[in-house]
Amino acid sequence: MLDAQAHFEQIRDTLPGDGQARAATLAAAEAVGLPTRRVESWHYTDLARLLKSGETAVVRAVDFSSVEALEAHFENGVLQSEPQADGLQITPFLGTLASPDAPSPDNVMANYNHALAQNGLTAEVSGTLAHPLVIRTSGSEPVHLAHKISLAAGAKAVLVDDHMATGYSNVVFDITLGEGAELTLLRSQQAGHQVGLSHVTLEQDAKYKSVAMISGGTLARHEAHVSLKAAQAHAELHSAVLGHGLSKAATHADFTYVIEHQAADTSSHTSAYNVLDGNARGVFQGKIIVRPDAQRVDAQMQTRAMMLSEGAEMDAKPELEIYADDVVCAHGSAIGELDRDALFFLRSRGLDEASARHLLVAAFLEQVTTHIDDEGLSEIMRGLVDAKINTLLGNFNGGASA
């Protein structure tokens, strides 16, 4: 799907920054090549195969007008409008500055991004942003974006990543949270093939919350590396997948987290809820690392999957790597089909089959949307989930006989 070298030659003149350095990074990345299933962190996501499927159908943009969102819209990598607000400082994109580690099969996608990043939002937040900031990605051309978001000490912001691009995209988020800063990152992917990577670092008392919702697209790989660097830092990562589609058009949603507790008295809370219909495949790889002397860490990780059809597949690998003793770390995983007893209960209360299934799936995913604190945004995301369940399972008609 993507001939990186040809793509580079094509857009070379438009790329900011040091062209030669980019060419060198690209050559090094190409020498390593796309990760294969033999690479442990890509074991369940066969990138080369998944990238062979074509573009996905065009989807409607999510309407954020009700929450008066600020918008940074990248259409085929070109910034359409620049948001302006108090406490928000946007600087022009100059290429990714810090070069990633030398390419290895594990991090080669970051190197591709470094070589090919054509744009990205470089934003510094000081103070509290009154309205959510939406980063919208649309278009059908291959695109490499590198966003850099920094929150100064005490700053607060809600960020929405609305991904509706129908082609291939490689998106890197570099997020730093100063002391006491709080960031909520809401992610929605409705289409396309996205290889996403985020690096998040948290200073003392900082709070990071990411809530992701995959409702379409044939590839959603969301890899996040979260470092909790000082006491009382707290990270939450929640994800919901509503996978569907048959064979090549099926959703493949992969959440891969590495959560590193580098300091004592830090905490993290991770949950992943997958609803898998058709030939959809859900992947969850979560790794909690507690470094030596990072005592009194509280880390929890939950994976749940609801299988709706014969051809669906779920793979989970929740890992713990603990080097300190005074910790409370736990992970749990449960995979199964729609609870038949629950279904029977609802049917016995007069709901038809479709409504009962709709209600149970909605309730299952509600456990993710409930983490969205902003009421307006929560409403919008619930609407998105509901509409998707409607198209998959039929409408919920509140028990009126069909």
Partner 1 sequence: MSEAKASMSEAKASIDKETVEQVAQFGGEHYKYGFTTEIDMDRVENGLSEDIIRFISAKKEEPQWLLDWRLDAYERWLTMEEPEWAHVDYPKIDYQDLCYYAAPKSMEDGPKSLDEVDPELLKTYKKLGIPLIEQEMLAGVRKVAVDAVFDSVSVGTTFRDELAKDGVIFCSFSEAVKEHPDLVQKYLGSVVPKSDNYFTALNSAVFSDGSFVYIPPGVRCPMELSTYFRINEANTGQFERTLVIADKGSYVSYLEGCTAPMRDENQLHAAVVELVALEDAEIKYSTVQNWYPGDADGKGGIYNFVTKRGDCREDRARISWTQVETGSAVTWKYPSCILRGDGSSGEFYSIAISNNLQQVDSGTKMIHLGKNTSSKIISKGISAGRSSNCYRGQVSVHPKAANARNFTQCDSLLIGDKCAAHTVPYIEAKNLSALLEHEATTSKISDDQLFFCQQRGLDAEEAVALIVNGFCRDVLQNLPMEFAVEAQQLVGISLEGSVG
Q: Which of 73, 229, 269, 317 binds partner 1 (CB under 8 A)?
A: 317
Quote the least distance from Cβ 307 to partner 1, whole Å. 5
- Of 68, 319, 353, 366, the residue at the interface with partner 1 (CB under 8 A) is 319
Among 86, 325, 341, 375, binds partner 1 (CB under 8 A): 325
CB 251 within 8 A of CB 313: no
Identify the residue among 143, 165, 316, 360 touching partner 1 (CB under 8 A).
Answer: 316
By CB under 8 A, tell whether 374 contacts partner 1: no
* Cα torsion angle, 179, 68, 160, 167, sign: negative
Q: Is 85 in the site for partner 1 (CB under 8 A)?
A: no
Q: Which of residues 38-57 bind partner 1 (CB under 8 A)?
A: 40
Q: Is 318 in the site for partner 1 (CB under 8 A)?
A: yes
Structure tokens at 334: 């449960």
Burial of 3 (0-12, 13-18, 19+ CB in 10 A): exposed
13 binds partner 1 (CB under 8 A): no
How near is the Cβ of 270 to partner 1 at its closest, in Å?
13
Closest CA to 301 of 226, 363, 247, 359: 226
- 332, 366, 391, 402: which one binds partner 1 (CB under 8 A): 332
Q: Is 394 helix (H, G, I), strand (E, B) or coil?
A: coil
Q: Pairing between strand 122-125 and 88-91? A: antiparallel
Q: Where are the beta strands (DSSP E) in 229-352?
A: 234-243, 252-261, 267-276, 281-290, 298-307, 313-322, 328-337
- Cα angle: 28, vertex 32, 38; to 5 degrees: 160
By the 8 A CB rule, do 288 and 320 touch?
yes
Where in 110-189 does DSSP place strands (E)?
A: 122-125, 133-138, 143-151, 156-163, 168-177, 182-189
Q: Is 367 in the site for partner 1 (CB under 8 A)?
A: no
The only residue of 13, 86, 101, 310 in contact with partner 1, by rule CB under 8 A = 310
Judged by CB under 8 A, the stretch of 239-247, 256-264, 292-300, 379-387 that binds partner 1 is 292-300
How many residues sit close enough to partner 1 to count as binding (CB under 8 A)? 36
Which one of residues 19, 54, 336, 383 is an interface residue with partner 1 (CB under 8 A)? 336
Residues at the site binding partner 1, with contacts judged by CB under 8 A: 40, 292-293, 295, 303, 305, 307-310, 312-337
